[in-house]
Amino acid sequence: MESFVEDLKNQVQCLLCNETMYEPKLLQCFHTFCKSCIKSNAQLDEQVNVFKCPQCTSQTVLEQLDDVEDLQTSPIHSRVVQVLLFLENQKVCSIEASHCEALWRCLDCDSSFCDECLGLHAKFAAMNNHRVVSLSNPTKEDIETMMKGEESCKIHSSQDVELYCQDCDTLICFLCLKDHSHNKHDLSSLQEFITHEKQGLSKNLEEIERLATNEEERKQQEEIAFDIRDYGQKAKENVEKVTEHLVKTLIDQKQQLLAEIQKSITKAERNLRILHHTSAAQEYVKYFAQNGTASEMMEIRDPECSKKLTYEPFQQDVGVINFRPNEELHNQVETGLGVVAIFNKPADAKSCLLKVEPKIEAMKTTKLTIVLKTSEGKVAQESLDNITIQVTPEEDVKIGEKLMEVDGQAMVDLTAQFPGQVTAHVEVRGIPVCNSPVVMNVKPQNIAIKDLKLAKDMNVDSKTLNGITLNTTYDRIAVADNSSHCVRVFNMEGVLLLEFGCHGSGQEQYKYPQDLAFLNETDLVIADHQNQRICVVDTLKGKTVKTFGCQGEGNGQFKYPCGVCVDDASNIYVCDYSNHRIQAFTKDGDYLYQFNLANNGHPFDIITHKGLFYVSDYSSSVVHVFEMKTRQQPTIIRTIGGKDCSAGQLQEPRGLTIDSDGNLLVCNGKRVNKYTLDGRYIGQTNELSNNCAYIAVLPNGNAIGTTWGGGLFAI
């Protein structure tokens, strides 16, 4: 008997204080300690309190020390503690506390009795078969019987529970049956319930024992549990995020509706104010109109202001303002915020694969696809946060947002800016996928030739064309006709507004006009190639405003001027082709300065962009980029293209422009090449039937170019 009690004491002895547990709390590791011992032995680790189990060293985190209250109380340990306390403490008679010490315990009444009161109880208990045990010399069987005592009914506290209701999932007493609250419910005896639950516990124990002997499965299950926990936390955050967004949207819409309703109410109240006081309103409005200051006028202009003096009558058929709820939205909300689903196992990085499209082209968006698989090769689900995609060189690519497909594939848009090679590194939870890194060969951009209506409408008469340009307000476009020795001006719908010029050397006569540049909204600068001069023409009237220059090598003289451009200060720059130089003039044609090209280069076209000048050198097959720090000594920033370039080689480059993306377009033989402004080659068009001459960019981002023999083309 004593050994049995000692064994019970050992079962509920706290290893920290070596006393019988007080309020035994169950840790996550399933070891049990006193509540007070857990609290006093927890140690502060950074911002949280941590209790380290002395039996297995696992850690239980307590954000606050008082969180120990939230730990589960061990019910079986608590029951043992209660029995031991009852056995060891003085027994008091439940009938009369002043009587001598209680020597008997009725397990059915949950009461203790002295010898005198036991007799009174016996008369009642005999009829009900109550179980009475001795407290003065309890046997092992008596203590075991006390240990098996059930709790009282939660509804009828004076009654012991007798049955289990499966429908309500609760223990009930016989009085509960009399209340008719469990009619037609599925009931079972306590023993049947215990037997059923023990079967479930036995199966669970078998699973735990199997895990203890199967290390591989244990690790697998541990990994799954970690994933479910971590993904669950992210799912909770996503629920919060989606809910907050929806609530904010609804609140914003509510405010809009209330404001709209209030606007009508304010108008109605304002009208009533005037209608109820028509005579006074007339007098006040008249007085205000005669004497009101500007500040006072501004104050009453506010349409929401109740003091507004304007009378705005409602339509005759208007009489009711109402709110009609969006039933479709209501029904949609009733379907729920979403669903919670547990998908297949998470992805195993070594089983995942990065797929790339076979042909990747610069400036064209392609897709990278990460095929997600489990270690068994099955379709896997993975959080996008756990998928890392890095493409190098980073400055050469643009990467979109990751998207998850329902079939276990993650995708991301990739745009390589330049031809060459880029390398994709893909990891799942920090581990590279099986074929990472993947090296991708990027081909030059194939710039499509477009079938543009504007280009068709402007293709009139001769097909041998030169300069093309737009005015500063982007409502006029001018084209130089090399064969007809004239210039045509169109609107942006392709309608011919004006044609002027013919072959000759007089006013409004030209010999093979080359490049064009608008000086302002209407005045057009023309490089009159074989007349060795620059003409400025009013495109509204087709009349010459001024001409300057003549054949020669001196300042202000030309040998076959080609390209022209106008800077932000309205200065005019001229490519003096056979004099191997660029000359600068004021808008009135006064000479400013000049600078020569190296190696007697032949400047064909010139454009200015953000303070830099881009000059195509026909003979050297490069584009020079100049910075004009001083008028006499321009600084060459870089050269673009060239015969020695492995990619994007230029051969006798001609017209230049900057496209809508800030890239440089160069007319190069029968193609147009594209470069970044720092000279990196991007791509080119397919070969045209004729050589390209000049090119200009339209406001919509398209570009129109001229050819020698093929008319206009568009890209």
Q: Where are the alpha helices (DSSP H) in 174-326?
A: 174-178, 190-213, 215-276, 278-291, 294-299
User: Which positions ≥6 away from 238 have C-beta within 8 Å?
Assistant: none
Instruction: Determine how β-strand 163-165 pairs with β-strand 187-189.
Output: antiparallel
The span from the CA of 558 to the CA of 641, in Å, is 27
Q: What is the DSSP letter of 73?
A: B
Q: Which residues pair with 486 in a beta bridge?
A: 481
The CA–CA distances, whole Å, from 72 to 30, 169, 329 equal: 10, 20, 43
The span from the CA of 142 to the CA of 350, in Å, is 62
3-state SS assignment for residue 370: strand
The span from the CA of 161 to the CA of 169, in Å, is 13
Instruction: Determine how β-strand 409-416 pairs with β-strand 420-428.
Output: unpaired
**Could you state, in chain order, the average pLDDT of each consecutive group of 10 residues for the chain (715 residues)?**
78 89 88 91 84 88 84 86 75 75 77 80 65 77 76 83 91 87 89 91 85 82 83 86 91 92 87 86 84 81 62 77 86 82 78 94 94 88 88 94 83 94 94 95 95 91 92 94 95 94 93 96 96 96 94 96 96 97 96 92 96 95 89 83 78 96 96 94 94 96 95 95
The span from the CA of 53 to the CA of 34, in Å, is 12
List the structure tokens of 567. Answer: 């800077």
Yes or no: say if 692 and 654 are a contact pair by the CB < 8 Å rule. yes
Yes or no: say if 188 and 163 are a contact pair by the CB < 8 Å rule. yes
pLDDT at 234: 84
Rounded to a whole number of angstroms, the CA Rg of the chain reads 46
Q: Which residues pair with 66 in a beta bridge?
A: none
Task: For residue 318, count other CB atoms closer than 10 A to its CB.
Answer: 9
Sign of the Cα torsion 426, 430, 433, 436 reads positive
User: Which amino acid is present at 203?
Assistant: K
The span from the CA of 621 to the CA of 634, in Å, is 20
3-state helix, strand, coil in the chain (%, to 5): 30, 30, 40
Closest to 257 (Cα-Cα) out of 325, 319, 314, 318: 325
List the structure tokens of 686. Answer: 């397919």
Q: Does a cis peptide bond (omega within 30 degrees of 0) precede residue 138?
A: no
For tokens 């307000």, name the residue.
473
The span from the CA of 638 to the CA of 655, in Å, is 18
pLDDT at 126: 57
Q: Which residues pair with 544 in a beta bridge?
A: 537
Closest to 281 (Cα-Cα) out of 314, 309, 308: 309
With the CA atoms of 92, 97, 100 and 105 taken in that order, what torsion angle do they form, in degrees rounded to the nearest 10? -40
pLDDT at 343: 65
Own/partner contacts of 313-320, CB < 8 Å, gap of 24 or more, are 313/271, 314/267, 314/268, 314/271
The span from the CA of 29 to the CA of 72, in Å, is 12
User: Which amino acid is present at 311?
Assistant: Y
Give the containing element (helix H, strand E) for 496: strand 496-500
3-state SS assignment for residue 404: strand
pLDDT at 714: 96
Give the containing element (helix H, strand E) for 471: none
For tokens 């719908």, name the residue.
493
The span from the CA of 306 to the CA of 266, in Å, is 6
Yes or no: say if 508 and 533 are a contact pair by the CB < 8 Å rule. no
522 torsion bin: left (phi>0), alpha (psi -120 to 50), beta (else) = alpha
The span from the CA of 251 to the CA of 248, in Å, is 5
Cα-flanking dihedrals φ and ψ of residue 612, to 5°?
Answer: -110, 155
The span from the CA of 199 to the CA of 75, in Å, is 19
The span from the CA of 40 to the CA of 484, in Å, is 102
Give the end-to-end CA distance of the chain in Å, rounded to a whole number. 102
Sign of the Cα torsion 459, 462, 464, 468 reads negative
Q: Which residues pair with 403 in a beta bridge?
A: 411
Identify the burial level of 291 via C-beta atoms within 10 angstroms of its C-beta, where 0-12 means exposed, 13-18 middle and 19 or more buried: exposed
The span from the CA of 172 to the CA of 164, in Å, is 6
pLDDT at 128: 59
Residues written for the chain? 715
- CA 300 vs. chain centroid, Å, equals 45
420 torsion bin: left (phi>0), alpha (psi -120 to 50), beta (else) = left
Q: What is the DSSP letter of 123?
A: H
Task: For residue 149, count other CB atoms closer than 10 A to its CB.
Answer: 16
List the structure tokens of 397. Answer: 């690519």
Cα-flanking dihedrals φ and ψ of residue 657, to 5°?
Answer: -160, 165
Please compute, for residue 22, the number of CA atoms within 13 A of its CA located in the half-sphere on the CB side.
8
User: Which positions ≥6 away from 661 have C-beta within 8 Å?
Assistant: none
The span from the CA of 172 to the CA of 160, in Å, is 8
679 torsion bin: left (phi>0), alpha (psi -120 to 50), beta (else) = left
Yes or no: say if 511 and 503 are a contact pair by the CB < 8 Å rule. yes
User: Which positions ≥6 away from 609 have C-beta within 8 Å?
Assistant: 658, 677
Q: Where are the alpha helices (DSSP H) in 103-214?
A: 115-128, 140-147, 174-178, 190-213
